[in-house]
A and B are shown apart, each in its own frame.
Chain A
Amino acid sequence: MKKHIVTSLLYTLVTGLLLGIVYPLFITGVAHVFFRNKADGQLLYSKAGQLEGSKLIGQPFTGVSYFHSRPSAAGTGYDAQASSGSNLGPTSQVLLDRVAQSVAAEGKRGDVPVDLVTASGSGLDPDITPAAAYFQVDRIARERSMDKSQVRTLVDKHVTPREFGFLGEPRVNVLALNLALDAAKPVQASR
């Protein structure tokens, strides 16, 4: 028994150092040298050098002049140190009330694309479906006094197709789209 204990402790220590220190530091080193931008989370900076967000992490957009992102259950919404889904089941009245509220917030313009009124798994989903983006074109055009076709073209440009043509689903990165929208026609100028 004593031999088992000694061997176990030594084995834990030696392989622990290999697997818990050497291995992750090696990967961190390789990542830092060859894929620095990706390893750091694809952060986006403004021209002034201000950190504006991450390409991968969604931000909350609820105002009328921005493309809305999905509802979020992460903290108070898009809290990127408290990622979480709502975990509400399909028969939960809380879920149904929340969805009804989101549907109302989109105005009475026909059925709302489902992703726009449902919370994502991470609460940080950076994307909406193309359907959800096109659904909001009329509102954005009105609020920013832009041509519908201009807004529509902007959305077209931001649709990411299926990866390699068949993996996953087509999607629109909301942060990138809204930053492009601000660049095309700032909110202040339209008011």
Chain B
Amino acid sequence: MTSYGWIQIFLFFLAVLALARPMGTYLTRVFERRVTFLDRLLNPIERVLYRVTGVNPAEEMRWSEYLLSMLVFSAATALLTYVLERMQAFLPWNPQKLAGVAPDLAWNTAISFTTNTNWQSYVPESTMSYLTQMLGLATHNFWSAAVGLALAIAFIRGIARREMQTLGNFWVDMTRGILWVLLPISAIFAIVLVSQGVVQNLRPYDSVKLVEAQKVSTTGADGKTTTSDVTTQTIAQGPIASQEAIKMLGTNGGGFLNANSAHPFENPTPFTNFLQMLSIFLIPAGLTVTLGQMVGSPKHGWAVFAAMSVLFAVGLITCYAAEAHGNPLLRGVDQQVSATQAGGNMEGKEVRFGIADSALFATVTTDASCGAVNSMHDSFTPLGGLVPLVNILLGEIIFGGVGAGMYGMLIFVVLAVFIAGLMVGRTPEYLGKKIEAYDVQMAMLYLLIFPLVILGFAAVTVLAPSFGLSSLTNHGPHGLSEILYAYASTTGNNGSAFAGLNANTHWYNTTLGLAMFIGRFLMLIPMLALAGNLAAKKTVPATSGTFPVTTPLFTTLLTGVIVIVGALTFFPVLALGPVLEHLLMAAGQSFK
């Protein structure tokens, strides 16, 4: 660990902290339909959009109608992507003449991008045409982020409103999120990224004559080794920056290229890397301020922010320390940090990012449900890889995905308030609202679906040598980590991977698709039902016996609840995966 590493981490957090209030205040204005500086430009577009699509912006929706609109819309967008993928061979902007995508892969990808997961079972540069990427995938980066944002705002309204049956209008929230927030920030961000070297064009791939021709020997399936000369390099191109911007800002994480933000065309410099990490946390951190403002208790927003920050710091320090320590099994290798190298575990990492920026990126991308990667998590040390995995398993509520992190965190807040109520023997209250049996049932349903899907699918897969274990690249405890990570990442709608797992098989495409579907849509039902129920409640005035949700005590309790729920659910499987691997690695054991 180096002082430069700590400086970067410190500056990163400082930037997040500094941007949270302006971003959050702006979000509040946008969703409360107050005046903003973009109104002159955007109001006419908004009006036209409502007229064309037949939306009445004054109409308010109950939670069930809000949910229905969201589900039907998601289905329509998924359908569009599926059709585009299947038909791309006949459509324009396909300079590499790529064929249509296979049905199971097309289904998996459509679900993946619709659910804000952006799990990728394919190599984009040899699978997806430019049109599919722009119209079929980048659009989902906007839509799914706007959906998440809308749902979070609806949930906050549920807390803020009194004796009301409605949560807002889904279409209005979508439109405000896209036009006022996601599109303008993405456009500026994309142009900044291009100015720093992120590629943006519609040209065919380039062919380069290598400076030093290579002799390459490959072993075929029949065990024969063939030697061939490689004299050229084909360089994939594409409209990358426009997708990169919203990929990070919308916490989507689906790379235009296979190596994602490790690829020099997606993330060429340490500065683009810094901006990309910052853009992941920008909206989620802002939402804590929005929460405080909309429920009329700014301190409550900061108390939630503090809980997120504590969990962020613990994960980051663990990951950074583990990666900087390196891999004790390597022989004849200098892993010491010095003035001329970062040292540490460099397998799967880029030189320009080194250890600190890789560990920070891995922590940020899994704290949020982003899932972009600038290094390969599968090649992290056992404890370094444990951190992203745990971040996902906690529910991605450490700032979290755009919107999804906020409503996920608020479920934990309800639970924390409930537990505090039990401890002092009073009816629990949250910002003046009594938390009753129905509310806790919905919160628990939300919290239980998640581990059920992850552990259920992982258990079946581990027991199946033919279609489960055959996809593994790594064996021993690391193999379990690969499978667990896949189902955690998809159910949590993260999308990063221990990518050694070959997931482009019928079993994985289908079950991972289901996991993404359930992890997004099924969990929303209890969440919105809870929001609707909260909105309808009366508020009672606070008394001296009311548990305050603005204090360090509350932050401590909330953090504790999150850690305990996570540990109780997942400790056994984590012990058999990363923890066991760490112990065996220390004992010098490797696996064939």
Question: Which of A's residues lie within 8 Å of B, judged by CB?
Answer: 1, 3-12, 14-16, 18-21, 23-24, 26-28, 30-32, 34-35, 38-43, 50-54, 56-63, 66, 70, 74, 76-96, 99-100, 103, 110-115, 117-132, 134, 162-164, 166-171, 175, 178-179, 182
With beta carbons under 8 angstroms apart, the residue of A62, A81, A128, A131 that contacts B205 is A81
* Residues in A neighbouring B237, C-beta threshold 8 A: 40-41
**CA A131 – CA B344 in complex, angstroms?**
13
A119: chain B residues within 8 A (beta carbon): 347-348
Other-chain residue from B234, B262, B265, B333 in contact with A56 (beta carbon distance below 8 A) = B265
- CB-CB under 8 A from B326, the residues of chain A are 114
- Comparing B350-358, B459-467, B531-539, the segment that makes contact with chain A is B350-358
B:266-281 near A, CB below 8 Å: 268-271, 273-274
Give bound CA distance, A57 to B77, whole Å.
Answer: 35
Q: Are B76 and A12 in contact, with the CB atoms below 8 A?
A: yes
B569, CB-defined interface residue at 8 Å:
no
B380 at the interface (CB under 8 A from A): yes
B109, CB-defined interface residue at 8 Å: no
In the assembled complex, 29 residue pairs joining A and B whose CB atoms fall closer than 8 Å, in A order, are A5-B72, A6-B54, A9-B76, A18-B183, A27-B187, A35-B194, A38-B197, A41-B206, A41-B235, A52-B211, A63-B212, A79-B233, A79-B234, A83-B258, A86-B376, A87-B378, A88-B473, A90-B345, A91-B585, A92-B474, A99-B331, A114-B326, A115-B346, A124-B264, A125-B350, A164-B271, A166-B8, A167-B273, A168-B353
Residues of A within 8 A of B344 (CB): 114
Contact among A70, A100, A121, A127 for B259, CB-based, below 8 A: A121
B252 within 8 A of A: no
Does A31 contact B191, Cβ atoms closer than 8 Å? Answer: yes
Given contacts A56-B197, A85-B348, A118-B346, contact A8 B75 (CB under 8 A): yes
Task: Report how far A5 CA is from B53 CA in the complex, Å.
Answer: 11
Max chain B CB contacts within 10 Å: which of A61, A170, A175?
A170
Q: What 7 A-B pairs are tightest by C-beta distance, nearest first?
A: A168-B270, A121-B262, A20-B135, A87-B500, A85-B376, A169-B354, A131-B341
Which A residue's beta carbon lies closest to that of B11? A166
Report the separation of the CA atoms of residues A91 and B332 in the bound assembly, to the nearest whole angstrom: 16
- Chain B residues in the interface with A (C-beta under 8 A): 4, 7-8, 11, 49, 52-55, 68-69, 72-73, 75-77, 80, 123, 125-126, 134-136, 138-139, 142-143, 171, 174, 178, 183, 186-187, 190-191, 194-203, 205-212, 214, 216, 218, 230, 233-237, 239, 241-243, 257-259, 262-265, 268-271, 273-274, 326-327, 329-335, 338, 340-354, 357-358, 373-376, 378-382, 385, 473-478, 481-482, 498-500, 581, 584-585, 589-592
Residue of B nearest to A125 (CB): B350
Contacts of A62 in B (CB 8 A): 212, 214
Q: Does B347 contact A118, Cβ atoms closer than 8 Å?
A: yes
B259 with A123: CB separation less than 8 A: yes
CA distance A28 to B93 in the complex (A): 13
In the complex, A40 Cα to B125 Cα: how many Å?
Answer: 16
The 8 Å CB contact of B334, one of A66, A113, A124, A162, is A113
Chain A neighbourhood of B270, CB < 8 A:
162-163, 167-169
Residues on A with C-beta less than 8 A from B241 are 27, 31, 39
Contact of B379 among A90, A115, A162, A164 (CB under 8 A): A90
A72, B476: Cα distance in complex, Å = 24
Closest to B215 in A: A62
Instruction: Assess whether A175 is in contact with B211, with CB atoms less than 8 Å apart.
Output: yes
CB of B264 within 8 A of CB of A89, answer no
A34 to chain B: closest CB distance in Å? 8
A83/B379 contact (C-beta < 8 A), A59-B211, A91-B581 known: no
Residue picked from A5, A27, A28, A164, most chain B C-beta under 10 Å: A27
Known: A62-B212, A121-B348. A27 touches B171 (CB 8 A): no
Nearest-neighbor residue (CB-CB) of A182 within chain B: B211
CB-CB < 8 A to B473: which residues of A?
87-89, 92
Partner of A83 from the list B183, B263, B474, B591 (CB cut-off 8 Å) is B263
Contact A66 B500 (CB under 8 A): no
Tell me if A121 and B476 are in contact (CB < 8 A). no
For residue B268, which residues in chain A have a CB less than 8 angstroms away from its CB?
A: 56
With A4-B72, A88-B347, A130-B341 known as contacts, the answer to whether A38 contacts B374 (CB < 8 A) is no
Q: B55 to A7, Cβ gap below 8 A?
A: yes
Instruction: Check A41–B171 contact: CB distance below 8 A.
Output: no
CB of B282 to closest CB in A, whole Å? 18
Q: Which of A5, A56, A128, A179 has the most CB atoms of chain B within a 10 A radius of its CB?
A: A56
A134 and B340 in contact, given A81-B235, A88-B474, A121-B262 (Cβ under 8 angstroms): yes
Q: Do residues A112 and B498 form an inter-chain contact, with CB atoms below 8 A?
A: no
Asked whether A129 lies within 8 Å of B259 as measured between CB atoms, the reply is: no
Please tell me if the beta carbons of A169 and B80 are within 8 angstroms of each other in the complex.
no
CB distance from A106 to the nearest CB of B (A): 9
With A and B bound together, what is the CA distance between A26 and B211 in angstroms? 36
User: Known: A77-B214, A77-B230, A91-B589. Contact between A32 and B201, CB under 8 A?
Assistant: yes
> A14-B49, A21-B134, A81-B234 given as contacts; is B584 within 8 A of A91 (CB)?
yes
State in angstroms the CA–CA spacing of A30 and B239 once bound together: 12
Give Cα A30 to B191, complex, Å: 8
> Does A60 lie within 8 Å of B201, measured CB to CB?
no
Beta-carbon contact of A14 and B53 below 8 Å? yes
Known contacts A119-B348, A121-B375, A131-B338; A93/B585 CB under 8 A = no
Write the nearest CB–CB distance from A103 to chain B, whole angstroms.
Answer: 4
Contact B352–A168 (Cβ < 8 Å)? yes
| Cβ 8 A contact of B200, one of A21, A31, A91 | A31
Q: Are B264 and A57 in contact, with the CB atoms below 8 A?
A: yes
The docked-state distance in angstroms from the alpha carbon of A91 to that of B259 is 22
Which residues of A sit under 8 angstroms from B340, Cβ to Cβ? Answer: 113, 129-131, 134, 170
